[in-house]
Structure 1
C-alpha cells in the first residue's frame, strides 16, 4: 500500500528560534516531541547520519541530516519500505513551517498494522509534537484532541503493571 502522510504547522517564530528546539530532538530535554505523552525518540549516536534508533516499537536510522533544516529517517522494520522526515521551512520573515512527512510503501502485515493502528497513533503523535513546539512560544496553550480510536488503542497497548 502506498502511504504519503504529511503534517504541517506554521509557527509564528523565525526559523532560527524553532531550530533551537529542533536541535534537542532525541535528547533528554527533547523540546520537539511530546515525550510526556508518548515514547521518546532514542538515537544511539544522536542527530547524525547513520544513527540508529526509534520510538516505541518503530525502528529507523538517520539517512540525512541538514542542521537547522531537516532530518530523514529510513524505516528499519519489516514491511515498512520508505522514510519519515522532519523539516523546518521559512514561510515568511517571522514564520516557520514545521513539516513531517511519511513516504513509504507497506507490504504484508505492515499494511494492516498501518491501516488499523499505526496511522492513527502517528497522526496524534505528530500533532502533539507540533502542539509542544507551538506552546513553547505562546501563552495560549494548544492541545490537539485524540480521537476515540486513539484513546482505545492507547488503552489496549498500555503495558500492564505488575
Structure 2
C-alpha cells in the first residue's frame, strides 16, 4: 500500500481520479501511459506497458478497482481511492493485492515491484503537485529503478491496443 495525505479537499483528488486514463489525466506518470478502451468505468479494459487489466469497480470521485485477467502474470487486483480526512485534507491510496505467476515469480521481487512502487510514488507526486502547486517531499527513483529503466526500454512503445 502506498498513500499520501494532500492539503486539498477530497473533491479535488476525486476529480483527478475521474480523469484517469483520459485526455486530461494529471495523475498517471508519462513514462508508461495508462490507457483504456473506453472512458473510465466498470467494464473498461486497458493497461500500461505489457500489463493488462479490467475496471471492475468504479465509484466516481472515490475509487477505481482494476483486476488482472486470467492468464496474467499477476492474479488479483489493484485499486486507487481517495478519502476525506478533513474538509481541506484528503488521502490518496493505492493498494495492490496480487500473486505473481510464471516468470513474474522471479521478475516481481527483482524488478517489477520496485518499478511499480516508483510509478505509484510519482503518481502521488503528480496528485500533490496538481492539487497544491508543489510536492513537499518528491519521490526519487532509486539507483536500482534508474538502472532498470535504462536496461528496459519504455514499455509504452511495446503497447499493442
Same fold by TM-score, threshold 0.5 exceeded? yes
Cα distance, 1:71 vs. partner? 0.3
Cα shift readout 1:86-115 (whole Å, capped 9, x = no counterpart): 011111221111000000112332211111
Give the distance between the partners of 1:46 and 1:57, measured in 2 at CA: 20
Cα shift readout 1:94-148 (whole Å, capped 9, x = no counterpart): 1111000000112332211111111000000000010011011334445311001
TM-score (normalizing by structure 1): 0.88
Give the distance between the partners of 1:78 and 1:56, measured in 2 at CA: 13
Aligned equivalent of 1:133, options 118, 127, 138: 127
The 1:53/1:140 distance shift into structure 2, 3 A limit, reads closer
Q: Are positions 1:50 and 2:21 aligned together?
A: no
Structure 2 residue runs without a partner (length 5+):
none
Give the distance between the partners of 1:117 and 1:48, measured in 2 at CA: 30
Give the distance between the partners of 2:102 and 2:153, measured in 1 at CA: 25
C-alpha contact (below 8 Å) 1:78/1:110 kept by paired residues: no
SS, match of residue 56 in structure 2: strand
SS, match of residue 112 in structure 2: helix
Give the distance between the partners of 2:79 and 2:48, measured in 1 at CA: 14
Give the distance between the partners of 1:114 and 1:23, measured in 2 at CA: 29
Q: Are positions 1:29 and 2:30 aligned together?
A: no
Give the distance between the partners of 2:115 and 2:52, measured in 1 at CA: 15
**Corresponding residue for residue 149 of structure 1:** 144
Structure 1 residue runs without a partner (length 5+):
1-5
**Corresponding residue for residue 14 of structure 1:** 9
**Corresponding residue for residue 99 of structure 2:** 105
Please tell me the root mean square deviation across aligned C-alpha atoms, in Å.
1.6
Give the distance between the partners of 1:32 and 1:26, measured in 2 at CA: 9
C-alpha contact (below 8 Å) 2:78/2:96 kept by paired residues: yes
Would you say how many aligned residue pairs link Structure 1 and Structure 2?
Answer: 153
Give the distance between the partners of 1:88 and 1:65, measured in 2 at CA: 12
Give the distance between the partners of 1:139 and 1:72, measured in 2 at CA: 27
Alignment of 1:60-99 (within 5 A): 60-76=53-69, 77-99=71-93
TM-score (normalizing by structure 2): 0.89
